[in-house]
Homo-oligomer: A and B are copies of this chain.
Amino acid sequence: MTAEAEQGFRPLDEASLVAYIKTTPALASRLGGGSLDSLEIKEVGDGNVNFVYIVRSEAGAIVVKQALPYVRSVGDSWPMTRERVYFEASTLREHGRLCPEHTPEVYHLDRAMSLMAMRYIEPPHIILRKGFIAGVEYPLLADHMSDYMAKTLFFTSLLYNNTTDHKKGVAKYSANVEMCRLTEQFVFSDPYRVSKFNRWTSPYLDKDAEAVREDEELKLEAAELKSLFMERAQALIHGDLHTASIMVTTGSTQIIDSEFGFYGPMGYDIGAFLGNLILAYYAQNGHADQANDRKAYKKWILKTIEESWNLFQKKFVELWNKHKEGNGEAYLPDIYNNSKLLSVAQKKYMTNLFHDSLGFGSAKMIRRIVGIAHVEDLESIKDASRRAECERAALNCAKTILKGRRQFETIEQVIVHIQSFDQD
Contact = CB atoms under 8 A, between A and B. Distances in A.
A415 interface: no
A335 B345 CA distance: 37
B345 A166 contact: no
Q: How many copies does the complex hold?
A: 2
A239 to B, nearest CB: 14
A182 B131 CA distance: 51
A233 interface: yes
A189 B335 contact: yes
A148 interface: no
B184 A163 contact: yes
B158 A180 contact: no
Interface residues of A, number: 46
Most chain B CB atoms below 10 A, which of A167, A181, A233: A167
Interface in A175-215: 175, 177-178, 180-181, 184, 189, 192-194
A163 B175 contact: no
Contacts of A331: 223
A97 interface: no
Interface stretch (A138-146, A224-232, A242-250, A362-370): A224-232
Tell me what chain A mostly uses at the interface: helix, strand, loop, or mixed.
helix
Nearest to A157: B231
Nearest to A331: B223
Given A170-B170, A223-B345, A164 B181 contact: yes
A336 B174 contact: no
Nearest to A330: B227
Nearest to A221: B348
A330 B231 CA distance: 10
B332 A193 contact: yes
Given A216-B341, A348-B220, A180 B167 contact: yes
A227 B158 contact: yes
A166 B330 contact: no
A379 interface: no
For the complex of A and B, list the 6 residue pairs with the smallest distance between their C-beta atoms, beginning with the closest: A171-B174, A167-B174, A171-B171, A167-B177, A193-B334, A193-B335
